[in-house]
Amino acid sequence: MRCLILLRDPALARYLRNGFREMGHVVTVHGFDLDGIRTALDEPWELLLIELLSDTTADSIQLVAMLRRTGHEGLVAMLGSGADTATVVRALHEGADEYLPIPIAFSELYARIESRARRFGRPSKPDLLQVGDLQIDLIRRQVSRAGIRIPMQPRMLRLLQTLAEQARQPVAREVLLKAVWGDQSVKYNAVDLLVSRIRARIETGFPDPLLHTVRGRGYMLSECLPAVEQEVDEESDGLRDGSRA
């Protein structure tokens, strides 16, 4: 899930960012400022955590209303301390999905958002992704193949989920880079290294490959070998086969 956090308190923003990243999500953080507002409006975020502000200097409820008017369908949760009932009601009427009082433990915040997303998420998404005999449980955040549990670190899970959501079609390295690391500065080959680690986990000990390299187009998760016209990178697949020998 791609998350945007707009908070004035940098310590709280870091706390939430670290929590969501540990759960395997891609997180971008801004203060509630012009850059943050532009970022919220320019991209289709799946979750926005926005500080509830309603005074003469800042009104985040207006941002929520603008997001909804422009067709934003992601989950919007507003966080505030000591907000009065009228302000909370106004925020919900303008399109916020949830109001969460702070301070709040991350475990409770995450459980509330996860529950809301399952029941009323826009757009709705499946709880289970399956490609061949590989299953990804998005609720429990678990991966298994042929019924065998495969441990995955958060970034590995996020990349694998991105591939599974677009199963049987190539996904460009740039797309995977953005999905896993967001706006973080990382080396371009970070995707290749992470794919190599995932491939070792989901293919070692199993008869058929699932994670294919498609020359010039990226990577593809499929139970079937790519068609000839997709030009599978034979050199990469050869290295993979050689590692099994």
pLDDT of residue 1: 75
Mean per-residue pLDDT of the chain = 85
Give the C-alpha separation, 27 to 21, whole Å. Answer: 7
pLDDT in tens, 37-53: 999 998 888 899 999 98
Reduced to 3 states (helix: H, G, I; strand: E, B; else coil), residue 154 is helix
pLDDT in tens, 126-179: 678 899 999 998 877 899 999 999 999 989 998 999 999 889 999 999 889 888
pLDDT of residue 87: 92
Contacts (Cβ under 8 Å, ≥6 apart) of 205: none
Extents of the domains making up the chain: 2-120, 128-244
Displacement of CA 143 from its chain's centroid (Å): 16
Question: 115 versus 95: which is more confidently predicted?
Answer: 95
DSSP 171: B
With contact defined as beta carbons under 8 Å apart, do 112 and 98 qualify?
yes
Average pLDDT over residues 113-138: 77
pLDDT band at 245 (very low <50, low <70, confident <90, very high): very low
Give the CA distances from residue 184 to residues 29, 158, 177, 191, 192, in Å, rounded to whole numbers and listed in that order: 11, 15, 9, 13, 16
pLDDT of residue 126: 61
CATH number of this structure's domain 128-244:
1.10.10.10
Q: Tokens representing 145?
A: 């193949």
With contact defined as beta carbons under 8 Å apart, do 141 and 133 qualify?
no
Whether pLDDT at 192 is above 70: yes
pLDDT band at 198 (very low <50, low <70, confident <90, very high): very high
Question: 221 versus 70: which is more confidently predicted?
Answer: 221
Burial category of 36 from C-beta neighbours within 10 Å (exposed 0-12, middle 13-18, buried 19 and up): buried
Q: What share of the chain is helix, strand, coil (3-state, %, to 5)?
A: 45, 20, 35
pLDDT of residue 43: 84
Average pLDDT over residues 233-242: 47
CATH number of this structure's domain 2-120:
3.40.50.2300
pLDDT band at 57 (very low <50, low <70, confident <90, very high): low
